[in-house]
Amino acid sequence: MSGPEQPIWEHHVPQDFAERLRLDRYCAENLPRIPSKAFARKSIKRDEIRLNGETVESSRFVRPGDVVQLLPSTRTPPAIYDAPIGVVYQDAHMAVVDKPAGLWTSGAKQRTLENALPVNLEQSSEPDVLRRPRVTHRLDAQTQGLVICAKTASAHMHIGQAFERRGVQKRYQALLVGRLEGEGTVELPVEGRDAKTHYRVLSHGRSLFCRWLTWVELSPHTGRTHQLRRHMAHLGHPILGDGIYGGPRPLRGKGLFLCASAVELAHPVTGAPLKVSRPAPEKFEITFAREARRWARYEELHMDRLMGLRALLDAHAPADEIEASHLDKMRTLARAERGDPCARDHFEPGHFTASSFVLSPDGASVLLILHGKLHRWLQPGGHIDPEDVDVLAAARREVAEEVGITELEQVGAGLFDVDVHTIPARKQEPEHEHHDLRFLFRAPSLEAVAGSDAQDAKWVALSEVAHIESDQSVMRAVAKIK
C-alpha cells in the first residue's frame, strides 16, 4: 500500500491466541488506540481498520497470525481546540506532551488533547507526515502527565508496536490514602485480563484528612483501564481524590492525585533510548505541606480536648443502671492508650460522637431530625471533627449544620446524658460503637431548616415523642427531660 492507503499501525495476532473473538471486540481489548467496541465498529465501517489488508465486517473472527491494520482516519477532523499544552519533547517524528488534569486524551469531543496538538506542536516536514499529530495511548481524563504523540505514520506504527511488546516504560507518581510501606508488586486481573503494577514508597506525611498520606512511584507492566487506581485500592490505599475506587471523599477542587511523570522508549526512527520526565505536580507538595501543618495544629488541640472530655465524664452522674453502664465504657475509652478516641476511624471498640437535645423556647417540645441514612427520628449529632475545640463545640456545630440554629442556650452544666450503641458494618468500616456525648440546649425560636444528613426536621411535643418512629435511647433521654 502507498499514499493514503498506507497503514499507520499493524498488529499481529499472536500464534498462540486461542480465544474466539470478533474483530471489534479484539481491537477494543488489544489495540491501545481503540477505546471501545463501539469505536471499533465505527472505524471498521469507515474502512479505517482492516484485517489482512481486506475490508471486512465487525463480526469477522480473528485467528492466530492475522494482521490487524489501522489506517488514517477518513473523517473530517474535529475543530481544533485552541488551548496551551506543555510540550516536554518534540522532533520531526514524535512529541511528548504534558496533559492537564480534566482533559480527555482523545474522542468525539472537541475539547481533547489530540485536538489541541496542531496549535502546540511544530509541523513535521517528513514525507509520511500525518494530517494531524496523533496520541498513541490514553490517560484517564482525571490523570495528568506525559502522553506520547506521533507526527508521522511510521512513528505512529513503531510506537504502537513498542506498546504491544511492552517496550514503553511508564512511571507515575501518586498520593495514597493511609500509610503504605516499602515496595512491592500487585498482580490482580482487571476485567478478566492479567494486570501487574510495581509500587515504591517515596515518603510519608501526616494528614488531618486521612491520618496518613503516602507518596509513591508506580510502574505499570500492563495498561488496563484504571489499573493503577484499582490496584492501589486493592491494597487498601486508594489514590487521593479517587471517588470511584474508595477512600475518603475527594478534596474539593483538587482532583485526582495521579500523574504520569516519566516515559522511556526507543526512538521510533533512530532507535536511540529516549527518556522524558516531568516533576510531580505542585499540588502534591502543597497538599503534603498543608496536611502536615493541619496535623501539627491538631496534635496541640488533641490533648486539651481529651483532658476536657475526661473531666466531663468524671463529673457526670448517671440517672440509672443503663446510663451507668454506658458511662463506664466511655471512661475506659477516654483513657485508651492508642489512637484518638474522638477520631472517626478509631474502631476498637469505637469512637466518641456528640449530639444535642434542643428544647423549644417554652421547653415543651424537642427538635428531632429524620436521619438521611438511618431513616429514624433522632436528635442532631454526629462525629467530632479534628478542628472542634472540644466536644461541646462539636455538638453545637452539628446543630448548626443539621438544623441551622447557631444561638443555643445550654441547659445545665456539663453532660446531659451518655449512650453507647452499635453501628453495623458498611462499605469499608467494620462494626463499631458510637459513644455518644449528649448535651441539652434551649433554642431562641422555633425556626429550624433541615440541613446535612437530615431529610426533615420538626418540633415534637415531649408527650408525643413516643408516637413517632424513633430510637429507644431517644425515649430514655426524653424521659429524663420530663
Q: Which strand (E) or helix (H) includes residue 460?
A: strand 454-461
100: which DSSP letter? P
Contact 380, 424 (CB under 8 A): no
Q: Cα angle at 175 between 174 and 176, to 5 degrees?
A: 110
Q: Which of 452, 473, 475, 450 is nearest to 465 (CA)?
A: 475
- With residues binned 3-state (H G I as helix, E B as strand, rest as coil), the percentages for the chain, rounded to 5, are 25, 30, 45
Point out the catalytic residue in the list 140, 242, 436, 453: 140
Catalytic (active site) residue 140: yes
Q: 238, exposed or middle or buried, with CB in 10 Å at 0-12, 13-18, 19+?
A: buried
Helices (H), 211-347: 227-234, 282-315, 321-334
Neighbour order of strands in the sheet with 67-70: 9-12, 67-70, 49-51
**Residue 203 and residue 215: Cα distance in Å, rounded?**
5
Instruction: Name residue 328's amino acid.
Output: D
Bond preceding residue 380 cis, omega within 30 of 0: no
Beta carbons of 298 and 208 less than 8 angstroms apart: yes
| CA 250 – CA 241 distance, rounded (Å) | 4
Residue in 177, 392, 205 with CA at minimum distance from that of residue 304: 392
Q: 66: closest CA among 82, 80, 50?
A: 50
The amino acid present at 347, given as its one-letter code, is F
Q: Which residues are catalytically annotated?
A: 140
